[in-house]
Amino acid sequence: MSDMEIIFLGTSAGTPTKKRNVSSILIRRKSDYLLFDVGEATQRQLIKTGIGLRRKIKIFISHMHGDHVVGLLSLLQSYSLLKREDPLEIYGPNGISEFIMRNISMLKFTPTYPILIQVLKEGVIMEAKEYIIRATKADHSVETYAFSIEEKMRPGKFDPIKARKLGIPVAYWKDLQMGRKVVINNIEIDPSLVVSPPRRGRKVVISSDTRPSDRIIEFARNADILIHDSTYGEEHADKAIKNYHSTAKQAAEVAKKAGVRLLILTHFSARYEDTKKLVEEAREIFPFVMAAEDFLRIDVPYPES
């Protein structure tokens, strides 16, 4: 199992179906859990995956439509019932703070933990030691954001054969691999002698409800995985325009122009019990396509370069 995994908790648009819950995607990166959108019953989906409700999850809300945010309320209350004490970070669009605080008051419960709310803006919204999360505006009927998880550059590959030939003791290898010069017998050893150039990390982009747009294309440029709104097939392209969504084929056009490695379709209208047709339409444009299903888990490998 990779140290970066995408878990689809809900893949239906608007309303749940027998097979699909409404929108929610979890990304696990090492010990970090990042939850994107919290449609109703997301907490049950978390329990069914075995992840449960005791992880230190950060929450990101793309927009204030019910199928993306209503499940947040029951999740917040469950955290209090479980006596959570760790602060909970929530990132969302304008209105997120009022939505949370007003409903907590109406539901008559007092959180046992601090809730730290950050209103979204374009650009870097969170920075960790090894990765950043960016947001950009999508093209939907209300203020909506897409997100990218981008790892920082990784150290190059260490060459133990070269190190041995140069007589570098093993005790110095880790420093060199981390890009630090070392001094041995008054001789300075540069890491470039035994370490290849730094390597790029992984990039995953989640584009929630949106029309296809140049902004999303640039945002998803060279992503390893693009997860994109694919609410309709081509026979309902007019509905996609009217409701500010994308067809599967339009999502594929975005993926092709952005140069991504893999496109994952999601946010399907309840009319599509079988998504095979949507995948086929997308593959007419871009070959590397798959459809999300609830509880689908995708390992994200490191790029070869």
For residue 89, the domain's CATH number is: 3.60.15.10
82 and 170 inside one domain = no
211 is written with which tokens? Answer: 């029309």
- Give the integer Cα–Cα distance in Å for 209 and 229: 5
Query: How far from 205 is each of 55, 96, 124, 139, 150, CA to CA, in Å?
Result: 23, 22, 13, 15, 9
113 shares a domain with 29: yes
Look up residue 126 and give its two tokens.
């969170």
Clarify whether residues 122 and 64 are in a common domain: yes
34 within some domain: yes
- Are residues 230 and 295 located together in one domain of the fold? yes
Amino acid 179: pLDDT: 87
Residues 166 and 25 in one domain: no
> In the chain, how many domains are there?
2
SS (H, E, C) 132-152: EEEEEECCCCCCCEEEEEEEC
The DSSP element (H or E) to which 88 belongs, if any, is strand 88-92
Look at residue 305 and tell me if it is in a domain: no
Assess contact for 231 and 240: CB atoms under 8 A. yes
pLDDT tens, residue order, the chain (305 aa) = 689 999 999 999 999 999 999 999 999 999 999 999 999 999 999 999 999 999 999 999 999 999 999 999 999 999 999 999 999 999 999 999 999 999 999 999 999 999 999 999 999 999 999 999 999 999 999 999 999 999 999 888 999 999 999 999 999 999 998 889 999 999 999 999 999 998 999 999 999 899 999 999 999 999 999 999 999 999 999 999 999 999 999 999 999 999 999 999 999 999 999 999 999 999 999 999 999 999 999 999 998 74
The residues annotated as belonging to the active site are 67
The pTM for the full model equals 0.93
Supply the pLDDT for residue 1: 62
- Distance in angstroms (rounded) separating the CA atoms of residues 262 and 231: 18
Q: Are residues 144 and 168 in the same domain?
A: no
Distance CA 167, CA 173 (A): 11
As a whole number of angstroms, the distance between CA 254 and CA 127 comes to 27
164, 145: one domain: no
Which residues form the domain of 189? 160-193
Q: Could you tell me the CA-to-CA distances from 294 to 10, 103, 144 in Å, in that order?
A: 5, 28, 23
Whether residues 176 and 32 fall in one domain? no
Q: Which residues contact 51 (CB under 8 A, 6 or more apart)?
A: 7, 26, 28, 33
Same domain, 148 and 165: no
**Residue 209 resides in a domain:** yes
The C-alpha atoms of residue 89 and residue 207 are separated, in whole angstroms, by: 21
- Residues near 170 by Cβ (< 8 Å), separated by ≥ 6? none
| Same domain for 282 and 166 | no
- Asked if 263 and 286 touch (Cβ cutoff 8 Å), the reply is yes
